[in-house]
Structures are given as C-alpha cells and as structure tokens.
Chains A and B, each alone.
Chain A
Amino acid sequence: DAKTTQPPSMDCAEGRAANLPCNHSTISGNEYVYWYRQIHSQGPQYIIHGLKNNETNEMASLIITEDRKSSTLILPHATLRDTAVYYCIVSRTGNQFYFGTGTSLTVIP
C-alpha cells in the first residue's frame, strides 16, 4: 500500500476552517484515501474516505486532486473538540491500514 506524507502539526483558530493536506504520490488506481482521527489514546475515529471524487459528510469534506497524488481534509468550522491527531491512509478495499505519524491539529480558542 502507498505511503502518505503529512505535516507533523498544525494550528487552527476556533470557528475557522481547518485544511489538512496529505501527499500520496504513489497511490494506485484501486486505492482509496481514508481519513481518521485519534483523540488522546482513544480508538481511531473514521472521518471520511474517497476514491476520485470529492466527498462531503456531516463531519468534513475531502478534496482529492485530479491526479490523485494528494488530498485535503477540510473541517469547515473547527471546534476545540477537533483537537486530535489526523491520519491520512491509502488502502485497497479489504486491506489493512498502514498508519503514518499523522498531523497533530490544535484548535486554538
């Protein structure tokens, strides 16, 4: 499975949009992009996933570039409860996940 590169940390003001980037330049055609977050030592929480098209759900939006080599997770109105480590993962359907080091997002009041 492809590896991903994320910035180690980011800050975001409360109420503003948080844009978290991820590079996955070696992604193959049948691999999906998944985003998870982990708050403290809780189990990773699913946020969103996509293959080619942009996706939106009640938590976030996922923007995938046309060449699929990078993506951005958007939290539209960040709150203090969004402070967490965010993981970008690429994987084929039914395969295990390889977690990188993720981005530690701090939402500032």
Chain B
Amino acid sequence: DSGVTQTPKHLITATGQRVTLRCSPRSGDLSVYWYQQSLDQGLQFLIQYYNGEERAKGNILERFSAQQFPDLHSELNLSSLELGDSALYFCASSVAGTSGGDTQYFGPGTRLTVL
C-alpha cells in the first residue's frame, strides 16, 4: 500500500460524457502527478500540481483539466470523452523537495472505459 488513494477504481461511461477522477496523496506530500496509461502509448505524464499550483504540463489534452485543493487532494476532469480516452489513470504523490531525489508513490489507478 503506497498511501495514495484513488477513486473510483473503475468507471464506465459513454462518448461525449464528463467524468472526475479523485486522488488523495500520502500524508505530508505536497506534489501530485497525473499519468495516463493506454495500451498503445504506455505511461504518459499529464500534469503536476505542487501545493495547489500547477507546476508542469505534459501531453494533456485541452478537454482534460485538473486542480489541487487546499487539503492537497486532486481531481482530474475529463470531458467530451472519446473512445481513445479509455485507459488507466494513475495519480502519484511526492514531497517534491529541492534535493535528495524525490520518490513518487503511485496510487492503484482508475480504469476508465468509454463506450
């Protein structure tokens, strides 16, 4: 158990719909990362938040957005869903210090199926 929780575990929805994935980081971790893993793309970085502020953006579509709340939990919002958005979505958290390496701890993921 990494200490990172994600809900829901599974999500099945239809094209065109909007969903919200939730992540609670480990106690004390200030940074949250979102990753997408699809069969043909592998694990891809989407976006990083640090203490409520967006810190880095990766290959995140404009239809996707995220935020980190004052209690440090994070939500990933996916809208106008397409079949190709079906994937595993992982959240990771870290202390995100400035030195000494920064281990990311991953949650169990949310499996999104778009029909």
CB contact under 8 A between A49 and B101, given known A94-B94, A96-B56: yes
Chain B contacts of A50 at CB under 8 A? 101
| Chain B residue with the shortest CB-CB distance to A93 | B102
Pick from B42, B88, B108, B111: contact of A99, CB under 8 Å: B42
How many CB-defined contacts (below 8 Å) exist between A and B? Answer: 71
Q: Tell me the chain B residues, 85-115 only, with Cβ under 8 Å from chain A.
A: 88, 90, 92, 94, 96-109, 111
Bound-complex Cα distance A43 to B104 (A): 11
Chain B contacts of A41 at CB under 8 A? 37, 88, 109, 111
Bound-complex Cα distance A91 to B96 (A): 12
- Pairs across A and B, CB under 8 Å, 14 listed: A43-B2, A43-B106, A44-B43, A44-B90, A46-B2, A93-B97, A93-B101, A93-B102, A94-B50, A94-B97, A96-B45, A96-B48, A96-B56, A97-B92
Interface string of B43-66 (1 = CB under 8 A from A): 111001010000110100000000
Q: Is the CB of B108 within 8 A of A43?
A: yes
B residues with a Cβ closer than 8 A to A are 2, 4, 31, 33, 35, 37, 42-45, 48, 50, 55-56, 58, 88, 90, 92, 94, 96-109, 111
A residues with a Cβ closer than 8 A to B are 32, 34, 36, 38, 41-46, 49-51, 87, 91, 93-101
| Chain A residue with the shortest CB-CB distance to B95 | A94
Bound-complex Cα distance A38 to B98 (A): 27
CB contact under 8 A between A42 and B108, given known A96-B33, A96-B58: yes
Chain B contacts of A51 at CB under 8 A? 101
Q: Is the CB of A43 within 8 A of B98?
A: no
Cβ of B65 to closest chain A Cβ, rounded Å: 17
CB contact under 8 A between A93 and B103, given known A42-B108, A99-B43: no
Chain B contacts of A98 at CB under 8 A? 45
Bound-complex Cα distance A43 to B100 (A): 23
| Chain A residue with the shortest CB-CB distance to B43 | A99
Q: Is the CB of B107 within 8 A of A43?
A: yes
Bound-complex Cα distance A28 to B79 (A): 38
Bound-complex Cα distance A101 to B111 (A): 20
